[in-house]
C-alpha cells in the first residue's frame, strides 16, 4: 500500500441523521439546536426511537467526526488520505470503516473486537426548519491511545492533522505526541485544530506545550486563541501564538481569516453567504487550507482555499462537500 499523503487522527463518530417533526423533539425530550453528550442508555433509547419516526425516509448513516470530515474534503480535492480512529466491531463500526474506505480514505486500524465500548455515534434530528439537534455518545473513539498509532504508516506522509477534542484524555495526548514524532521523523508537518474553547480551558498548559513544541501549524478561532493565551485582544493572542508556532491560522466566524507564518501576516477574504447548515464549516476550512499548504500554495491562497471550501459546505445540509471545490479554485485562478 502506498503511504497516504495526509494522515488525520480524530474521533470516529457515526452520524445518524433523521428528519423529525418539531413535535417529535418534545416527545423524545431532545433539546433543539444544540449538541448534547449522552450516555449509552440514552443513546440506545434514541437510536431505537429513530427507527420508528413515522417517516418513509429512514435515518441515514454517515461517517463523521471533525478530522474525518476534513480528510473527506482533502480526499475529494485529490490528495491521498488516511484516518486513525477507533471503532468497535459492531454494525455501526463496520459501516463506518467500510464507508470511509469506499470514499477513498484509508481506515488504518481495523474495528476493535471483544468486550469494548460500542462505536461512537451522534443522533442528529433535523426539523423542517433545518435545525440539527445532536445527541452524541462518545463511546470507543474517545479511548484512542498511543497503541493505535503505528509509526510505520507515516513513511512518505507529508502532513498530519490532529483533532483537539481527543486531547481531553491522557491517552489521546500520548497518541498525539507519538504521531507528531513519527510524522517529523518521516519529514512531515504536524498540526492541530484547537476544536473548542472549553477544551482549551481544561488543558491550557498542555495545549500551550503542544503549540510551542511539536506542532508546525495550528488552526483555531477567535475564542480558542484568546482562551489559549488568556487575553481578550485577538491581536495579542495571535502575537503570542506566532512566537510559539511557525504557522498560525485564525478563523473569525464570517470575517476574513488571518494567517501568520514566519513573520508574514495575511488575510483571506470571506464572501458571506446565508448558511443552510453551518455544520462542518471549520472542518472544510481546514480541508481547503491543508490542501493549499500541502501543495505549496502561498499562505494567502491556502487561506482563500479554506474559505471557499467552508462556503461550499454551509450552502447545503451535511458536513462534507458535495460540489466541485477544485472547479471553484480554478474559477478564482488559485490552481
DSSP of 106-129, one letter per residue? EE-SPPB-SS-PPPEEEEEEE-TT
Q: Is 32 a domain residue? A: no
237 Rama class: left (phi>0) / alpha (psi -120 to 50) / beta: alpha
Rounded CA-CA distance 215/221 in Å is: 17
Rounded CA-CA distance 283/280 in Å is: 5
pLDDT at 76 over 90: yes
List the one residue out of 237, 218, 235 whose CA is nearest residue 226.
237
pLDDT tens figures, 1-20: 344 589 999 999 999 888 88
Judge whether 195 and 224 are in contact, CB under 8 Å.
Answer: yes
Rounded CA-CA distance 144/175 in Å is: 7
List the one residue out of 20, 50, 49, 15 whose CA is nearest residue 137.
15
Number of domain units in the chain? 1
Confidence of residue 268 (pLDDT cuts 50, 70, 90): very high
pLDDT tens figures, 149-164: 999 999 887 899 999 9
Judge whether 228 and 200 are in contact, CB under 8 Å.
Answer: yes
Grid cell for residue 27: 416527545
Judge whether 334 and 98 are in contact, CB under 8 Å.
Answer: no
- Segment holding 18, helix H or strand E: strand 13-19
List the one residue out of 43, 23, 25, 21 whose CA is nearest residue 34.
25
Residue 76: domain span? 6-12+66-119+139-331
pLDDT tens figures, 239-254: 999 999 999 999 988 7
Chain centre distance of CA 202: 19
pLDDT score recorded for residue 213: 94
Q: Is 178 a domain residue? A: yes
Q: Is 247 a domain residue? A: yes
Judge whether 285 and 263 are in contact, CB under 8 Å.
Answer: no
Q: Is 44 a domain residue? A: no
CATH of the domain at 262: 3.40.1190.20
pLDDT at 80 over 90: yes
Q: Is 259 a domain residue? A: yes
pLDDT tens figures, 82-124: 999 999 999 999 999 999 999 999 999 999 998 889 999 999 8
Q: Is 19 a domain residue? A: no
pLDDT at 277 over 50: yes
Q: Is 258 a domain residue? A: yes
pLDDT score recorded for residue 57: 52
Confidence of residue 135 (pLDDT cuts 50, 70, 90): very high
List the one residue out of 280, 268, 289 whose CA is nearest residue 322.
280
Q: Is 238 a domain residue? A: yes
pLDDT score recorded for residue 239: 97
pLDDT tens figures, 13-61: 999 888 888 898 999 999 988 888 999 999 999 988 866 444 445 678 8
- pTM for the full model? 0.91
Amino acid at each position: 500500500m502506498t503511504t497516504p499523503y495526509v494522515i488525520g487522527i480524530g474521533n470516529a463518530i457515526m452520524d445518524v441523521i433523521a428528519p423529525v417533526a418539531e413535535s417529535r423533539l418534545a416527545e423524545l425530550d431532545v433539546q433543539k439546536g444544540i449538541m448534547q453528550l449522552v450516555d449509552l442508555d440514552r443513546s440506545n433509547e434514541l437510536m431505537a426511537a429513530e427507527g420508528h419516526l413515522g417517516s418513509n425516509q429512514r435515518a441515514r448513516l454517515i461517517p463523521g467526526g471533525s478530522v474525518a470530515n476534513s480528510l473527506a474534503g482533502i480526499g475529494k480535492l485529490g490528495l491521498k488520505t488516511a484516518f486513525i480512529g477507533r471503532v468497535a466491531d459492531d454494525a455501526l463500526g463496520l459501516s463506518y470503516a467500510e464507508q470511509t474506505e469506499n470514499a477513498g480514505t484509508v481506515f488504518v486500524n481495523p474495528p476493535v473486537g471483544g468486550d469494548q465500548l460500542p462505536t461512537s455515534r451522534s443522533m442528529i434530528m433535523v426539523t423542517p426548519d433545518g435545525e440539527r439537534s445532536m445527541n452524541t455518545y462518545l463511546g470507543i473513539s474517545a479511548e484512542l491511545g498511543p497503541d493505535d498509532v503505528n509509526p510505520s504508516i507515516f513513511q512518505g506522509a507529508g502532513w498530519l492533522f490532529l483533532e483537539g477534542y481527543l486531547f481531553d484524555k491522557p491517552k489521546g495526548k500520548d497518541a498525539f505526541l507519538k504521531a507528531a514524532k513519527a510524522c517529523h521523523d518521516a519529514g512531515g508537518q504536524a498540526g492541530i485544530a484547537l476544536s473548542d474553547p472549553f477544551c482549551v480551558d481544561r488543558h491550557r498548559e498542555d495545549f500551550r506545550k503542544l503549540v510551542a513544541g511539536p506542532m508546525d501549524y495550528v488552526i483555531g478561532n477567535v475564542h480558542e486563541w484568546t482562551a489559549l493565551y488568556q487575553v481578550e485582544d485577538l491581536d495579542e493572542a495571535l502575537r503570542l501564538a506566532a512566537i510559539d508556532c511557525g504557522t498560525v491560522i485564525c478563523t473569525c466566524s464570517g470575517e476574513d481569516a488571518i494567517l501568520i507564518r514566519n513573520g508574514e501576516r495575511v488575510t483571506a477574504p470571506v464572501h458571506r453567504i446565508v448558511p443552510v447548515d453551518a455544520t462542518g464549516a471549520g472542518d472544510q476550512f481546514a480541508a481547503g487550507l491543508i490542501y493549499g499548504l500541502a501543495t505549496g500554495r502561498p499562505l494567502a491562497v491556502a487561506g482563500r482555499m479554506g474559505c471557499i471550501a467552508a462556503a461550499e459546505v454551509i450552502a447545503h445540509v451535511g458536513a462534507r462537500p458535495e460540489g466541485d471545490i477544485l472547479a471553484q479554485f480554478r474559477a478564482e485562478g488559485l490552481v
